[in-house]
Amino acid sequence: MIKNRREKFPFQLACAALAGIAFLTGCASTPIVAPKPTGWIKDEVADSYVFAYPLVLMGASRDAAVGTGPGQAPVNTLRHASALPPVGAHNPPTPGIDTLDSTAWLDVGDEPVIVSLPTSAGRYIDARALDMWTNVLWSAEQQGGSRVSGIKAQTVAFAKPDWKGDLPKGVKRIDAPTRNIWLDVRIQSNGGRDLTAVRKLQRGIRVVPLSVYTGDASAASVAPRTMPADASVSGTPAEQVAALDAKGFFDRLAWLLPDNPPSPADPHALKFLADLGVKPDEAVELPKSASDAIAGGLADGRARVATPPTNMLTANGWSWFGEGVGNYGPDYALRAYASYAQPGIGTKDDEVRANVALDSDGHALNGANRYVMHFEPNQVPPVRGFWSITAYTKDGALGDSTPARASVGDKAGVRRNRDGSIDVTVSSAKPRKASNWLPAPRGDFQLVLRLYAPKPEASDGTWQPPAVVRQ
């Protein structure tokens, strides 16, 4: 009590000194309450957006692909691409023209799902399965050799970690940390008459629930657990996610979390979400009276997702993912950007994809000009499979002013110089003399260099593609 009286004494003197001016009314006035800081809300919204972006994007991608409409297939059912993408194709951006894809969305909630691949008889196949956080769970076992010569017949079962039961002999179990899995099987194709052989391989791929595989049940449709429809958003999955406000984004996240827990488990990230009012399968209640902080955090999160992280590899204007891609651990910035820039990307052992949109002088690539890429003998893309270069519009579409499905690479008969080096000429107009001409769109464009089954030096920083030099 004595201490409290001493603390009040200076305050009482201050009131007395002000009596002649304010008649003591200032001492009795209501104190001003400073607004609570909202900086933490902005920061946690941004961090949480980057953390959750891959899951929300995968949820939108699943819902767009599952169904009975055009371009869709039911759950646990393969959808085969029967032809290479046409001129002008841009969904997904920079579509590959070296392979035909067979894709499926698996649901392991009720029982394991069996995936069987046939022997590819010397043809390159890249098969991978991603969980809902875009981590690569499994890749097909490739045969060895100096060049990938295809795969042997193999069968795997994707199951929930807590599933208990017996699998048929010879079936390898893969534990799936999320209820849904994206399966993507890419079969190398040269187009034209070669498509017949590719389609035959596609028919040899099988995806069925365990009970159907063992003959204990007939094929039954699995009702997809889709997110609540939102009429305010439309377009591609990426466009849908980009159009969501903070409430819409976190509503989708809360709906997805029960079936798709974070991998790896991250209590710190979940605490951030709980601070914001985001909990699995509960109605989202974002902090009130903090709309500006929430909007600012959402804008920051979007910008961070679209910004290449510092651990991207860069050289001569090119950029590509190195080690760590496909199995991200707590590197949420890399995971989010990979989902944004190259949806479905595999590990460093599956594929490396390098992009460039500027020439050696820093100017935008344009089809009105002619460019040359000179690969020294020791600079040729290091692969166990094969490589190719394709030109796209700046928006990622196959240019409508170029021959359909044009690319340059070792499967397309690229010619080497006498010393083993390679020169690739890029322009919209065909030059008089150029053994390796890559047609380009007439306007601004970008190049994508794909390395299938790359060697370690493609992702450890010891190899780099050459500059694109304007002639």
The answer to whether residues 184 and 267 belong to one domain is: yes
Judge if 438 and 368 occupy the same domain: yes
Q: Do the domain assignments include residue 459? A: yes
Q: Are residues 286 and 345 in the same domain?
A: no
Domain boundary among 283, 305, 327: 305
Which pLDDT belongs to residue 234? Answer: 79
Do 256 and 362 fall into the same domain?
A: no
Task: Give the strands of the sheet with 313-315, arranged side by side.
Answer: 313-315, 318-320, 351-356, 445-454, 383-393, 408-409
Q: What is the CATH number of the domain that holds 323?
A: 2.60.120.600
Per-residue pLDDT, 82: 86
Per the domain annotation, does 18 fall within a domain? Answer: no
**Residue 389: closest CA among 448, 465, 317:** 448
CA–CA separation, 5 and 460 (whole Å): 70
**Residues 213 and 71 both lie in one domain:** yes
In the sheet with 136-139, reading across from the earlier edge strand, the strands are: 79-80, 99-107, 180-188, 125-130, 136-139
Question: Phi-psi category of 413—alpha, beta or left, where left has phi over 0 and alpha has psi -120 to 50?
Answer: left
What integer pLDDT is reported at residue 277 of this predicted model?
95
Q: Are residues 298 and 333 in the same domain?
A: no
Residue with tokens 């003959």: 215
Same-domain pairing of 299 and 321: no
Residue 453 covered by a domain: yes
Give one DSSP letter per residue of 294-358, joined into a string: HHHHHHHHHHHHTSPPTTSEEETTEEE--TTTT--TT-HHHHHHHHHHSTT---TTTEEEEEE-B
Q: CA-CA distance, 332 to 47, in Å (whole number)?
A: 9
Task: Say if 326 falls within a structural domain.
Answer: yes
327 lies in the same domain as 300 = no
- Whether omega for the bond prior to residue 466 falls within 30 degrees of 0, making it cis, is no
Same domain for 297 and 319, yes or no, is no
Buried b (16+ CB within 10 A) or exposed e, 407-427: bbbbbbebeeeeeeebbbbbb
Nearest-angstrom CA–CA distance, 180 and 61: 11
> Which residue from 56, 11, 47 is spatially nearest to 31, judged by alpha carbons?
11
Is residue 248 classed exposed, middle or buried when 0-12, 13-18 and 19+ CB atoms within 10 A define those classes?
middle
Looking at the fold, whether 287 and 320 belong to one and the same domain comes out as: no
> Is 29 domain-assigned?
no
Q: How many domains does the chain have?
A: 2
Domain, as residue range, for 148: 39-78+99-188+205-219+227-305
Domain membership of residue 357 (yes or no) is yes
The pLDDT profile of the chain, 471 residues, written as one tens digit per residue, is: 333 333 333 334 333 333 343 433 444 444 444 445 677 899 999 999 999 999 999 999 999 999 999 889 999 999 999 888 776 666 677 888 899 999 999 999 999 999 999 999 889 999 999 999 999 999 997 765 444 678 899 999 999 999 999 999 999 999 999 999 999 999 999 878 889 999 999 999 999 999 999 998 766 666 666 666 665 677 899 999 999 999 999 999 999 999 999 977 788 899 999 999 999 989 999 998 899 999 999 999 999 999 999 989 999 999 999 989 999 999 999 999 999 999 999 999 999 999 999 999 999 999 999 999 999 999 999 999 899 999 999 988 887 655 545 789 988 889 999 999 999 999 998 888 878 999 999 899 999 999 999 999 999 999 999 999 999
pLDDT at 10: 38
Structural domain ending residue among the three candidates 305, 321, 356: 305
Tell me the β-bridge partners of 139.
Answer: 128
60, 180 Cβ separation under 8 angstroms: no
**∠ Cα 467 424 382 (to 5°):** 70
Q: Are residues 123 and 146 in the same domain?
A: yes
Under 8 Å between Cβ of 125 and 135: no
Query: Does residue 299 sit within a domain?
Result: yes
Question: How far are the Cα atoms of 30, 289, 291 from residue 33, in angstroms, in the given order?
Answer: 9, 15, 20
Amino acid letter, residue 46:
A
On the 0-12 / 13-18 / 19+ scale of CB atoms within 10 A, 117 is buried
Q: 328 and 402 in one domain?
A: yes
For residue 62 the two structure tokens come to 């699943």
Q: Please say which residue of 273, 305, 337 terminates a domain.
A: 305
Q: Which residues make Cβ contacts (< 8 Å) with residue 17, sequence separation at least 6?
A: none
Residue 215 class from Cβ within 10 Å (0-12 exposed, 13-18 middle, 19+ buried)? Answer: exposed
Specify the pairing of strand 383-393 against strand 408-409: antiparallel
**92 within a domain of the structure (yes/no):** no
Sign of CA dihedral 87, 336, 99, 80: negative
Between CA 111 and CA 123 the distance in angstroms is 32
pTM here is 0.87
What SS3 class is residue 76? coil
Pairing, β 99-107 against β 136-139: unpaired
